[in-house]
Structure 1
Amino acid sequence: MVLRNSVYNLLGLGLPLVVAVIAIPALIHSLGAEQFGILTIIWAVVSYFGLFDLGLGRVVTQQIAIAIAEDDSDRLKIVVGTSSVLMASLGIVGAIAMAVSAPLLAHEFTKTADPAAVTRAFYWMAAAMPAIVLTSGYRGMLEATGRFGLVNAIRFPMGVFTYAGPLAVVWAGHGGLEAISAVLCVGRIVACVLQAFYALRSLPAKVGTGRFERSMIQPMLSMGGWMSISNIVGPLMNYTDRFLLGFVASAQAVAYYATPQEMVLRIGIIPTAVAAVLFPLFTSQSNSAGASVMRANLRRYSLVILALLLPFTVLLALFAQPLLALWISPVFADNATVPLQIMSVAALCSGLAQIPFTMLQGRARADLTAKLHLVELPLYIGLLYILVLHYGPVGAALAWLARIGADMLALYWLCLRNLRAAESMNGDIASDRLPSDAADAEYRVTP
């Protein structure tokens, strides 16, 4: 089951990369390095603001998986209805925040492009924010019910559209960032509608569209709170480098850095595909399996990720220059080869870190991952600024590697420490269930 669902995820995340390989050089050629750099920033901003679900996407997966296992239809209705209302509200808040910040973002990252057009591009993506946030919840429902095939039947065309949509706009002669953002906005809304339709159909018929329970807002937000910190701070550290490069250097420098970063981030689809399947598994095992079983799972799936990633990262590091020269241009390769080589090592560390991270969150210890990221954030930003100031894109890549390597080691240490503590208490850990009624509506995570 883990293997089959991981393959579904891998195909859904990986096949669109074939389109990306074709689309990215064409977009760079048509838009120019600066406008393409701004486009990558728009992608980054959308990804970041999409985290306005405050961890509720994973809470939905976790709680629906438990409710189905316990055949608790009342809990199912409450989780579905309350989470849907909450995420729609949070999506609107995200849209307003993005729209308000659009003029500032456009001004800071525009050197020769039209700031007004860039601002309108951000407005289009702001309009898509409610759909983006809701999509994470509906996808969580499908994953909780084991419908990974269906998740990826929707994810694949939308992943292709992320690259093919802008390319189609360019080829149609409307190659501005505003038109590209408008097309991407429509695609995000369509994806949300499809996810909602199939997610609600995958649940038992008596659940319907769920039931909103006001008393459940606080426990759901409390449970998602620690997850949301990692969900916000983690990507913030992943994308701060692009923003800082844009401030300190130029949008062109962002392109030389972001393009190889996009390449190695796509390698991350392998551990992401596995981790998405492992999360509900680790959740279901958290109160039933002993610490020794969980430790064996940690070792087993870490070795799986190592075996899957190592060949890709080694080849990418060895052949970075000819790959970039063939894919884009020799001039581009001269500026992006060293960052790509550094990032290939970081990609391996990042992939391995997914296993202890997923296990800790599945064991209701998202507080540990969140606190770790809060400690890392100021240290990383300080190191990033110093290295970018002196070494540009290469310095940003070095800072990224240092942060991810330290994060990986810390996550394994925290996970093993948590398992040892659970073993000393005969495997007992905090319950990860939400309360079933208003009288019991306080959720608490016990260290």
Structure 2
Amino acid sequence: MTLTDRANLTRMRTVLFNSGWNMLGRIGPVAIAVLITPYLVAKLGLSRWGVLTIALSLIGTFGIFDFGLGRALTRAIAERISDGEDKESATLTLTGILTLGVFGLVGGGCAAFFVRIWVYNGLKIPVELQHETVVAMWVLCATAPLVMMNAAMWGVMSAYQAFRNANLLNIPISVLYYLAPLLILQVWNSLVGVMLMLALCRLAMTVGYAFICMRLMPTLLTARPSFSLLRPLFRIGGWMTISNLMFPILSYMDRFMIATVLSAATTAYYTTPFDVVARLSMITLAVSSTAYPAMAASWRKDTLTTITLYRNSILTVVCLLFPFCFLGSLFSQDILGFWVGPDFAHNSTVIMKYLSIGVFFFGIDTVAAGFLDGIGRAEINAILSIVEALLYAPFLLLFLHWFGVNGAAFVWAGRSIFDSVARITIGIRLYPTLSSVVRHLMPMALTGLGLLILSLPPTQNLLRIGIFLVGFPLFYGIIWMYAITQEERTSASHTLTHLWVSGRKSLSRGRMDG
């Protein structure tokens, strides 16, 4: 890899370009899934469909067995690429792939051992489906090594910012995850056939990832494993594992507490708007997953590039999230009323408003957390997650008793704000040059918070439209004035002027032709 190639990996244009590919890779398959799911449910029946959804969710649990090694591998390879250590990068990559493959083999074997016990004694399904389910689950467990090796190879592609190639492979295979089961059900109405199709999709992804990795890293063909290189990765990965374990605890604690303190039925008023706003995390993850390896590669040698990546990643996330959060908060009653009915909307409107605030700051927090991981301080994210859980639980309990289900949404929003402030503050302490960037981002964050708070009270439609028409340009005006540099404003002005002139010329030419 040349010096120019290495420099391109940390350019903001590269990160933004790859963020777009990551968003496409996440949103595209979801759209197909929405269309195909009703047909899958009809062909499988509710019992088989229920088993399939459980099985698919279990695939995500295989990630626990990587002990954070996949994300740590991304960071380590990104650093070595920036240092020009291509040979050591290949050695580390091969070692990581083999190690995670073994972990997947052990994890899948353990899961397969308990499948029969779980299906016959724990899972409440019709007796005639039990044997079919056991065999289908065994097929699923056999894919665990592939899942783990794919995680390692995704880390390599992330380090090289090869998200375009990765998503060009991911999108069709992810579509086949839904389409292939539907096709096999036409000739074989069995969960086993469905799982075999999913296993073939996973295998195709592994082969495709391997091909991309060898194209990116030709020295991988002659590399030899060296397991001593993994020792520092396990230290960082161990802390990342703690963060990974704490994330679902923090994510689902509110739902369990609502069901316990209030009622299971009340939980629906919370989870329905939550599931809507949670979809916006696709934007956040698309940007943060590309910024993380870039910051990991640049933080030691290029301070200016690092703080620019940090600033522009937050700017990108916030600029993309704000319209959805602002509209979702202002018009939550109308959105929910149209989607789930006015009675449901009456109970969930305030919840959606608070959650919109939380999602806005969750986007900022995700970039800040990625920065801490990128500079090798994963232990801070882990410790902060533990402290957060210890504080979150009692506050959640108190606010549920005092304010009902709306209190849970308020505390969740407060937690997101606390997270982002804490991680940004710690980031400045560890990397003082961030302070100038954060100072320019503060007006934007405070304006966004102020406008989202302004949208909380119930108002008439005309007033809400007025708030939006004033608030929307105000927010982006603050970004224009405070968050971007004079050079960026000049460049943006030239671009907008060029587009305006080109548009007018095209329009004039069209009129003349007509």
Give TM class, smaller chain.
Answer: 0.7 to 0.9
Relative distance call for 1:193 and 1:243 in structure 2 (3 A) is: farther
Give 1:287 shift: 0.9
* Inter-partner Cα distance in structure 2 for 1:141 and 1:233: 25
Give 1:337 shift: 5.1
Give 1:137 shift: 0.9
Relative distance call for 1:357 and 1:85 in structure 2 (3 A) is: same
Relative distance call for 1:396 and 1:337 in structure 2 (3 A) is: same
136, 141, 145: which is aligned to 2:156? 141
Relative distance call for 1:187 and 1:249 in structure 2 (3 A) is: farther
2:26 — aligned with what? 13
The residue identity in structure 2 corresponding to 1:136 is A
378, 403, 411: which is aligned to 1:366? 378
Q: Is residue 280–residue 362 contact of structure 1 (8 Å, CA) maintained in 2?
A: yes
54, 70, 74: which is aligned to 1:61? 74
Q: Is residue 109–residue 247 contact of structure 1 (8 Å, CA) maintained in 2?
A: no
The residue identity in structure 1 corresponding to 2:239 is W
217, 221, 224: which is aligned to 2:237? 224
Matched, 1:78 2:91: yes
* Inter-partner Cα distance in structure 2 for 1:394 and 1:181: 41
Q: 3-state SS of the aligned residue for 1:149?
A: helix
What per-residue deviation string (whole Å, max 9, x for no partner) do you get for residues 267-296 of structure 1?
212121211221122112211234x76555
308, 313, 324: which is aligned to 1:312? 324
* Inter-partner Cα distance in structure 2 for 1:134 and 1:320: 42
1:433 — aligned with what? none
The residue identity in structure 1 corresponding to 2:81 is I
Relative distance call for 1:183 and 1:65 in structure 2 (3 A) is: same
Give TM-score scaled by structure 2 length: 0.66
Q: Is residue 133–residue 191 contact of structure 2 (8 Å, CA) maintained in 1?
A: yes
Structure 2 matches for 1:272-287, cutoff 5 A? 272-287=285-300
Give 1:198 shift: 1.7
Q: 3-state SS of the aligned residue for 2:228?
A: helix
What per-residue deviation string (whole Å, max 9, x for no partner) do you get for residues 185-233 of structure 1?
3322321221122212221x33316311132232332232222322333
Q: Is residue 78–residue 293 contact of structure 2 (8 Å, CA) maintained in 1?
A: yes
What per-residue deviation string (whole Å, max 9, x for no partner) do you get for residues 61-91 of structure 1?
2222233333324312320221111111111
61, 68, 71: which is aligned to 1:48? 61
2:422 — aligned with what? 410
The residue identity in structure 1 corresponding to 2:360 is L
* Inter-partner Cα distance in structure 2 for 1:370 and 1:151: 29
Asked which structure has the greater RCO (Cα within 8 Å, sep 6+), the reply is 1
* Inter-partner Cα distance in structure 2 for 1:253 and 1:165: 37
2:458 — aligned with what? none
Relative distance call for 1:212 and 1:252 in structure 2 (3 A) is: farther
What per-residue deviation string (whole Å, max 9, x for no partner) do you get for residues 320-347 of structure 1?
56666777x6599669955666544433
What per-residue deviation string (whole Å, max 9, x for no partner) do you get for residues 23-68 of structure 1?
4566677778887676555444322322422222223222222333
| Bigger radius of gyration among the two | 2
Q: Is residue 74–residue 293 contact of structure 2 (8 Å, CA) maintained in 1?
A: yes
What per-residue deviation string (whole Å, max 9, x for no partner) do you get for residues 215-260 of structure 1?
2232332232222322333245335667889999999999887675
RMSD value over aligned CA atoms? 4.4
* Inter-partner Cα distance in structure 2 for 1:167 and 1:323: 32
Q: 3-state SS of the aligned residue for 1:287?
A: coil
The residue identity in structure 2 corresponding to 1:55 is G
Relative distance call for 1:67 and 1:417 in structure 2 (3 A) is: closer
Greater Cα shift, 129-138 or 24-33? 24-33
1:155 — aligned with what? 170
Greater Cα shift, 165-174 or 14-23? 165-174
Q: Is residue 91–residue 130 contact of structure 1 (8 Å, CA) maintained in 2?
A: yes
Give 1:128 shift: 2.0
Q: 3-state SS of the aligned residue for 1:71?
A: coil
* Inter-partner Cα distance in structure 1 for 2:43 and 2:398: 33
Among the aligned pairs, what percent are the same residue? 28
* Inter-partner Cα distance in structure 2 for 1:120 and 1:374: 39
Q: 3-state SS of the aligned residue for 1:15?
A: helix
1:198 — aligned with what? 212
Relative distance call for 1:422 and 1:390 in structure 2 (3 A) is: closer
* Inter-partner Cα distance in structure 2 for 1:77 and 1:239: 39
Relative distance call for 1:127 and 1:259 in structure 2 (3 A) is: farther
2:388 — aligned with what? 376
Gaps of 5+ in 1: 424-447
Matched, 1:187 2:201: yes
* Inter-partner Cα distance in structure 2 for 1:258 and 1:134: 33
Q: Is residue 112–residue 141 contact of structure 2 (8 Å, CA) maintained in 1?
A: yes
Q: Is residue 279–residue 359 contact of structure 1 (8 Å, CA) maintained in 2?
A: yes
Q: Is residue 98–residue 122 contact of structure 1 (8 Å, CA) maintained in 2?
A: no
Equivalenced residue count is 419
340, 344, 365: which is aligned to 1:353? 365
